[in-house]
Amino acid sequence: MNMLTVCALVCTIVALAGSADLPETKAKSNETGKTHLVKMSSKCDDGWTQLNGRCFYYVAELMTWDKAEANCVSLGGHLASVHNAMEYCRLQRLILSATHEEKETWIGGCDAQEESHWIWSDGTIFHFNNWCPGEPNNQGSYQHCLQMNYGVEKCFDDFECHGQRPSVCAKNM
């Protein structure tokens, strides 16, 4: 089963479940010792989308990867890291919702420090990937930044960092 099919299945499951965006609940005891559930409000700022304990924000302005990362840092986060197929699918939905297109978009992957050693700008481990066939290829020896939604398969691609793309920022709640 190819990655596009897997992503489509995960997207369908997430859409049908619909529970990923529901407010969290927390057990809380009152003075009588009884426990009841209390809804926790979203801890994301206005315009940000909550997912898996983080907040995500689509930035439509075209920027280089470095400027997009600096912009995300100024907003209290980093370019988004992606840790599983569900997150990737949700980021695709976020972009589609904001733009009505499946735009190629910067996320936080980079191998500029060491070729073929991909890291996330937020410091988390780069264990999930969704590379398009033949990627990363470092075409011309200068593709060190990660864009998502590339090609017909809408997957990861290494791209030249001075290219102009919209971006997705992420920060912890």
Domains along the sequence of the chain with CATH? 3-15+43-172 (3.10.100.10)
Whole-structure pTM value: 0.78
What is the residue-averaged pLDDT of the chain? 84
Query: Torsion over CA of 138, 154, 105 and 23, rounded to 10 degrees?
Result: -130
Angle (nearest 5°) at CA 80 between 78 and 86: 155
Instruction: Extract long-range pairs of 34-40: CB within 8 Å, 24+ residues apart.
Output: none
Confidence of residue 141 (pLDDT cuts 50, 70, 90): confident
Please say if the pLDDT value at position 48 is more than 90: yes
pLDDT digits (tens, 9 = 90+) for 61-95: 999 999 999 999 999 999 999 999 999 999 999 99
User: Which helix (H) or strand (E) covers residue 5, if one does?
Assistant: helix 3-17
Token look-up 């009152």 returns 30
Sign of the CA dihedral running 116, 164, 72, 173: negative
